[in-house]
Amino acid sequence: MDWGNIFSQAITQGLGVQAVIFALAAVGLNVHFGYTGLLNFGQAAFLAVAAYGLAVTIVFLGLPMWVGIIIGLVAAVLLALLLGIPTLRLRADYLAIVTIAAAEIIRLLVRSVTLREVFGGSDGINAFADEFYSYSPYTQNLKFGPIDLSANDLWVVTVGWVLVALACVLVWLLMRSPWGRVIKAIREDEDAVRSLGKNVYFYKMQSLILGGVLGCLGGFIAAVAFQSVQPDFFSTDLTFFAWAVLILGGAGRVLGPVLGAVVFWFLLVFIDGALAGAVQDGTITFIRSDQVGQVRYWILGLSLMLLMIYRPQGILGDKRELALDAR
């Protein structure tokens, strides 16, 4: 078993494109749940509208990439309004139901045969990120210690982590402001906030929009990184992986989603490589090589269960500040 290669792949993935995508998605969820107490089970929808907004603008409309980014951001804001207007005056579980349903509706809509000419159906839209890579200053691959990235991946990762850093700084500044204090007070007891004359519905809507916009940045990164947008990538798995990242790192902490994304993808790839190597060497005989993918999720899921039992606030979270209480 080549432990050096396994560790190298795990480090690369822990700092790579997938980690960036889920860090951005989880930063948005952190605004929703960690700071405001909103249960959003449809974060994949925000990534989807951003990614498809970018791809359709470039391929179908023939417009520049920056126009596609604006359209994707506007689509994320409109989606937040569409989800929030009928639900934010109600209990938290109504928002959870509506968001998970909306994510599936959007996925099935862009997957439909009727709209295939626009969204590409189940094949999606491909080969539209040339303009993005034309701005890359990198001409050579990066090989530094265990990290091994192609020139294109290095450009995506650079842009991605810059966006993650900017998103975290924005969240840090906002949560230290009077607006942020109101948001965190709503998480603790929205009735008390309402009794002080604050428009709780208005603040919740702002939080839903902000978290959706921050999360949709992950959709842009996914689109240009894979140079393809396909509907099945934006399934409910994406949302629940983002939740796993948030819970692992610690909700209600600025750097919680970032640490969670790095640790989650490092462990996922490391466990996969270690299991595959052990099966190939004959060290493990009770599972087959084609079962490694499922077993790694079992192990990671069991680890998350133990984390929720013994440290429910996550790695960086504070149990005194965060209570899993949905009203």
Q: Is residue 322 part of a domain?
A: no
CB 262 within 8 A of CB 7: no
CATH number of the domain within which 245 lies:
1.10.3470
Q: Is residue 80 part of a domain?
A: yes
**Total domains in the fold of the chain:** 1
Q: Is residue 185 part of a domain?
A: yes
Q: SS3 for 49? A: helix
Range of the domain at 166: 3-136+146-310
pTM: 0.92
Write the DSSP assignment of 10-44 as a string of letters. HHHHHTSHHHHHHHHHHHHHIIIIIIT----S-HH
Q: What is the dihedral of CA 289, 291, 293, 299, to 10 degrees?
A: -110
> Which residues does residue 147 pair with via DSSP β-bridges, in sequence order?
144
One digit per residue, the tens of pLDDT, for the chain of length 327 reads 677 788 888 888 899 999 999 999 999 999 999 999 999 999 999 999 999 999 999 999 999 999 999 999 999 999 999 999 988 887 778 889 999 999 999 999 999 999 999 999 989 999 899 999 999 998 888 877 777 788 999 999 999 999 999 999 999 999 999 999 999 999 988 889 999 899 999 999 999 999 999 999 999 999 999 999 999 999 999 999 999 999 999 998 999 999 999 999 999 999 888 888 888 887 787 788 778 878 888 888 898 888 888 888 888 887 766 544 444
